[in-house]
């Protein structure tokens, strides 16, 4: 098998895995809203708490129902060892594939951020989220990762996605530039694809925005 053909097959496999993961996240985002509305519960307006509730009470517990038993979801994992006992950061959620468990560097990353329509949180989404992938503070073994925006206030999500796109494209670093392409709308959740040219080649980020405003404290 030629090297090019093998690379094409691997890329197709990686893309299929990534699409399965992103579809699962969209379904879980919808499930969280449905579940909390039915039970008349409220989520704390705190990024880390929302992330941990979603991970521990849904992403991990629903794997069998959604056919995700070959994927492992880990909370707050140190990322990119810099030496002298220090790491470059901690990722919100790491996703490991059963087929690649033996490869220490092989995983996907979900970086979570709150969104409320303000320029402050939109800028943090870019500067403290997207930029970590573009600057390779976070690794991208498969060439694809996920940004997950918890929308905590009732806003026009699509309009706000364009505002975020504008912020990143106004950055002086051209590596931050890219166009948001709508991939899917499911209930209160939307996903976009954006390609970024980085030092090692390119990385694709899936931007998922889920409207949690109806279940926020």
Rounded CA-CA distance 165/112 in Å is: 17
What pLDDT does residue 159 have?
98
Domain extent listing, the chain:
3-215
Whole-number pLDDT of residue 52: 98
Q: How confident is the model at residue 87 (pLDDT cuts 50, 70, 90)?
A: low
Average pLDDT over residues 184-194: 97
Per-residue pLDDT tens digits for 40-79: 999 999 999 999 999 999 999 999 999 999 999 999 987 8
pLDDT at 3: 58
Asked whether the predicted pLDDT for residue 1 surpasses 60, the reply is no
Output the CA angle 176-177-183, nearest 5 degrees. 110
The torsion defined by the Cα of 9, 15, 16 and 18, in degrees rounded to 10, comes to: 150
Give the pLDDT confidence score for residue 172 in this predicted structure. Answer: 97
How far is 4 from 18, CA to CA, in rounded Å?
A: 21
Mean pLDDT value of segment 29-34: 98
Q: What is the pLDDT of residue 6?
A: 74
Q: What confidence category does residue 112 fall into, taking pLDDT thresholds of 50, 70 and 90?
A: very high
Higher model confidence: residue 80 or residue 20? Answer: 20
Residue 83 φ/ψ region, left for φ over 0, alpha for ψ in the -120 to 50 degree band, beta for the rest:
left
Residue 7's pLDDT is what?
A: 79
């Amino acid at each position: 098998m030629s090297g090019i053909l093998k690379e094409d097959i691997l890329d197709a496999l990686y893309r299929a895995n990534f699409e399965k993961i992103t579809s699962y996240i969209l379904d879980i985002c919808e499930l969280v809203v449905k579940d909390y509305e039915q039970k008349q519960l409220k989520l704390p307006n705190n990024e880390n708490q929302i992330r941990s509730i979603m991970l521990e009470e849904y992403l991990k517990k629903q794997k069998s129902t959604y056919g995700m038993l070959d994927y492992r979801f880990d909370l707050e994992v140190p990322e990119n060892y810099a030496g002298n006992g220090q790491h470059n950061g901690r990722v919100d959620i790491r996703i490991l594939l059963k087929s690649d468990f033996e490869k220490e560097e092989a995983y996907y990353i979900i970086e979570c951020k709150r969104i409320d329509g303000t320029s402050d949180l939109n800028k943090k989404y870019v500067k403290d989220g997207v930029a970590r992938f573009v600057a390779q503070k976070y690794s991208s073994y498969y060439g694809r990762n996920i940004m997950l925006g918890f929308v905590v206030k009732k806003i026009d999500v699509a309009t706000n996605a364009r505002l975020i796109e504008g912020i990143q494209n106004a950055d002086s670093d051209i590596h931050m530039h890219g166009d948001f392409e709508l991939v899917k709308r499911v209930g209160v959740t939307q996903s976009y694809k954006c390609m970024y040219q980085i030092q090692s080649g390119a990385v694709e980020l899936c931007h998922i925005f889920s409207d949690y405003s109806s279940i926020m404290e």
